[in-house]
Structure 1
Amino acid sequence: MELCELCQGISRRKWKIAPGRYEDEGEWIEHHESYSNLSKSVSEGCRLCTLLRHGLLDHMRGEANYTEAWHLERDAEQELKFWIVQDLTYPGDGAGIICDTALMNGLYYRRCFPPLTNTTVESLESSDETELNDAQNLGAFFQLRVPSDSSPKSLLSRSQGLRPSFADAWKWLHQCIAGHLECEKQTHDTPTRLLYIDSSRTEDRVRLVEPRSAIKCYAALSHCWGNFKPLCTTKENFEKHKEFFPLTELPRTFQDAVIVAKNLDIEYLWIDSLCIIQDCSEDWERECSRMAGVYSGALVTIAASDAEDSSKGFFHDYSTKFDSCEFPYWSDIEDGMIMTSMTYMPPNMENLAVEPPSRLSTRGWVLQERLLSQRVLSFGSNRLQWECSKFCCSDDMHYPYTSSRLSYNAVEKRPIGSLVDAPIAFQYWCDIVSTYSGCKLTKHTDKLPALSGLAQAFSEVLGDTYVAGLWRNDIHVGLTWYESNNDWRVLRDSVEGAPLPYRAPSWSWACSDYAIVFRSGTRNQHKDLIIVAVSVTLKGLDSFGELDHGTTLHVNGRMNKGVVVLDNPGVYLHVGSTLNDCNDTNTAIASLYFDSKQLARRLKQDSSLQEEVMTLLISYGNDASQKWVGLALEEIDVGDERKVFRRIGIVVCHERYKAGYRWFKDCKRQSLNII
Structure 2
Amino acid sequence: MLLHTWTHESQYGRAQSREIKQPVREKEASGVLVFMLCKVCIDGLEGMWDPSRSKRLARSQDFIKKLHPRDDGTPSDVTEQVSNSGHPSTDAPDLDSLGPNEIVYGHHKAIDSYITSMEEGCTFCNYLATMYDCEDTGNSVIEVLGYYSVFTFILLKSGESVEEPLVTLYRDKFRGDFMFVPVGDPKYDRMLNFNLGPSNHDSTTWSLIDTWMTRCLESHSLCRKPDVSEPYMPTRLLQLGSSQIGRTFRLVNGSECPPESRYVALSYCWGVKPLSGMLRLLQSTVQNLSQWQPVDDLPKTFRDAMDVAQHFGVDYIWIDRLCVYQDSAEDWQKEASCMQKLRRLSLSFDQEPAVQRSWVVQERLLAPRTLHFGREQVFWECVEAGCCETHPQVVDCFDMSDFYDEKGKEEGQELERHQFLWKPLLALSYRRHFDDPCTQLIHDWYGIAEYYVSRELTRAGDKLVAISGLANDMKNRLRELKPGPHRYLAGFWEDNLITAIGWNVLNPAERAIDYRAPSWSWACLDGHVNLLDAVQDGHDDILMLVASLIAADTEYVGSEDTGQVKSGILTLRGPCSTVQIGQKAFGTIITERVVQGFRSPEEQNHDSRPQWSEMSVIFDTWDDIRDEAFVLWIYASRFASGKWYIRGLALKWEKEDKYQRLGLVGGYFANKDDALAWIDMFPTKQISIF
TM-score range, shorter chain: 0.5 to 0.7
| Range that drifts further, 515-524 or 287-296 | 515-524
- For 1:462, the equivalent position in structure 2 comes to 478
Q: Say which SS state the counterpart of residue 400 (structure 1) adopts.
A: coil
**Residue number among 386, 389, 413 corresponding to 1:392 in the alignment:** 386
**Displacement of 1:57 after TM fit?**
2.9
Residues 278 and 284 in structure 1, CA contact (< 8 A), matched pair in contact too? yes
1:555 aligns with 572
Matched, 1:595 2:619: yes
Say whether residues 1:511 and 2:551 are aligned partners. no
Code of the aligned partner of 1:602: I
Query: Contact 1:55 / 1:140 at 8 angstroms: preserved in 2?
Result: no
Question: Which of 220-229 and 206-215 deviates more?
Answer: 206-215
1:277-300 alpha-carbon deviations (Å, 9 max, x no partner) = 1110000000001111111111x1
Partner in structure 2 of residue 674 of structure 1 = 689
- 1:303 aligned onto 2:350: yes
Aligned to 2:458, which of 442, 461, 473?
442
Map of 1:312 onto structure 2: none
Q: Secondary structure at the match of 1:204?
A: strand
Specify the code of the residue in structure 1 equivalent to 2:249: V
* Count of residues in correspondence between the two structures: 502
The answer to whether 1:502 aligns with 2:520 is no
* Alpha-carbon distance in structure 2 between the residues aligned to 1:438 and 1:546: 19
The change in CA–CA distance for 1:461 and 1:141 in structure 2 (over 3 A counts) is closer
Which one of the candidate residues 174, 178, 181 is aligned to 2:214?
174
Q: 2:39 aligns with which of 14, 37, 57?
A: 57
In structure 1, distance between residues paired with 2:576 and 2:667 = 14
In structure 2, the residue matched to 1:33 is none
CA contact (8 A) 2:585 2:594 kept: no
Greater mean alpha carbon deviation, residues 472-481 or residues 254-263 = 472-481
1:669 maps to amino acid = T
For residues 38-88 of structure 1, the C-alpha deviation after alignment (integer angstroms, 9 at most, x for no partner) is: xxxxxxxxxxxxx99x63337479x9xxxxxxx9xx9xx99869xxxxxxx
8 Å CA contact 1:578, 1:591 repeated in 2: yes
Query: Taking structure 1 as reference, are residues 586 and 270 closer, same or farther at Cα in structure 2, changes over 3 Å only?
Result: farther
1:448-480 CA deviation, whole Å, 9 max, x = no partner? 111111111111111321001000102123201
1:405-554 paired onto structure 2 within 5 Å: 410-412=427-429, 421-463=437-479, 464-486=486-508, 500-518=513-531, 519=534, 520-524=536-540, 525-549=543-567, 551-554=568-571
SS at match of 1:385: strand
Q: Which residue of the partner structure matches residue 189 of structure 1?
A: 232
- What is the root-mean-square deviation in Å for CA atoms of aligned residues? 4.4
- Equivalent of residue 264 in structure 2, options 203, 219, 223: 219
Report the alpha carbon displacement of residue 430 of structure 1 after superposing the two structures with TM: 1.0
Quote the offset at 1:651 in angstroms: 1.8
- Paired residues of 1:627 and 1:661 also in contact (CA < 8 A): no
Contact in 2 for aligned 1:580/1:586 (Cα 8 Å): no
Confirm or deny that 1:237 pairs with 2:285: yes
Distance 1:112 1:390 in 2: 29
2:196 to 136, 160, 181: 160
Q: What residue number does 2:647 align with?
A: 629
**C-alpha contact (below 8 Å) 1:116/1:154 kept by paired residues:** no
Measured in 1, the distance between the counterparts of 2:260 and 2:492 equals 34
Q: Write out per-residue CA displacement over residues 201-250 of structure 1, whole angstroms, 9 at most, x where no aligned residue.
A: 56110011112254441111111112134532111111221111000121
Q: Which amino acid aligns with 1:253?
A: T
C-alpha distance in 2, partners of 1:426/1:432? 10
Equivalent residue, structure 2, for 1:662: 677
Superposition TM-score, scaled by structure 1 size: 0.65
2:269 counterpart letter in structure 1 = C
Instruction: Output the TM-score relative to the length of structure 2.
Output: 0.64
Give the letter for the 2:593 counterpart: G
Aligned match of 1:206 in 227, 234, 249?
249
Q: Relative to structure 1, is the Cα distance of residues 469 and 166 closer, same or farther in structure 2, using a 3 angstrom cutoff?
A: same
SS of the equivalent of 2:38 reads helix
Letter aligned with residue 178 of structure 1: E
Could you say if the C-alpha distance between residues 203 and 112 of structure 1 is closer, same or farther in structure 2, counting changes exceeding 3 Å? Answer: farther
* Partner residue in 2 for 1:282: 330
Contact 1:220–1:302 (CA under 8 A) maintained in structure 2: yes
Point out where structure 2 has 5 or more consecutive residues left out of the alignment: 2-33, 55-103, 109-116, 125-152, 170-176, 400-422, 480-485, 600-604
Corresponding residue number in structure 2 for 1:136: 167
Contact 1:195 1:275 in 2 (8 A): yes
The residue that corresponds to 2:661 in the other structure is 647
CA separation of 1:636/1:191 partners in 2, compared to 1, >3 Å: closer, same or farther?
Answer: same
Deviations along 1:606-629, one digit per CA (max 9) or x if unpaired, are xxxx52x32222223433464322
- Alpha-carbon distance in structure 2 between the residues aligned to 1:261 and 1:386: 15
When residues 248 and 469 of structure 1 are mapped into structure 2, their CA distance, relative to the original with a 3 A threshold, is same
Q: Determine what percentage of the aligned residue pairs are the same residue.
A: 23
Distance 1:446 1:174, change over 3 A: same
Match for 2:216: what amino acid? C
For 2:209 and 2:154, the matched residues in 1 are separated by: 27
Cα shift at 1:403: 6.0
Paired position in structure 2 for 1:325: none
If you compute each CA radius of gyration, which structure gives the higher value, 1 or 2? Answer: 1
Alignment equivalent of 1:293, drawn from 329, 337, 341: 341
1:573 Cα shift? 4.3
Whether the 8 Å contact between 1:644 and 1:672 is mirrored in structure 2 is: yes
Tell me which of 305, 328, 332 is aligned to 1:257: 305
Aligned to 1:322: none
Deviation at 1:145, TM superposition (A): 8.7
Inter-CA distance 279–510: structure 2 relative to 1 (3 Å threshold) = same
Residues 208 and 242 in structure 1, CA contact (< 8 A), matched pair in contact too: yes
Cα distance in structure 2, aligned partners of 1:586 and 1:408: 51
Indicate conservation of the 8 Å contact 2:240/2:315, yes or no.
Answer: yes
Once the 2 structures are TM-superposed, how far is the Cα of residue 152 of structure 1 from its aligned partner? Answer: 8.5
SS of structure 1 residue aligned to 2:342:
helix
The letter for the 1-side match of 2:388 is S
Q: Is 2:269 the partner of 1:269? A: no
1:560-588 residue CA offsets vs partner (Å, 9 max, x unmatched)? 33322342699984533325232147978
Alpha carbons of structure 1 residues 167 and 58: separation in structure 2 relative to 1, 3 Å: farther
| Distance of aligned partners of 1:528 and 1:137 in 2 relative to their CA distance in 1, 3 Å threshold | closer
Contact 1:553 1:674 in 2 (8 A): yes
Conserved 8 A contact 1:653-1:660: no
Matches of residues 304-343 of structure 1 in structure 2 within 5 Å?
304=351, 306=352
Q: Which consecutive residues of structure 1, in runs of 5 or more, have no partner in the other structure?
A: 1-9, 11-50, 64-70, 82-100, 121-131, 307-358, 604-609
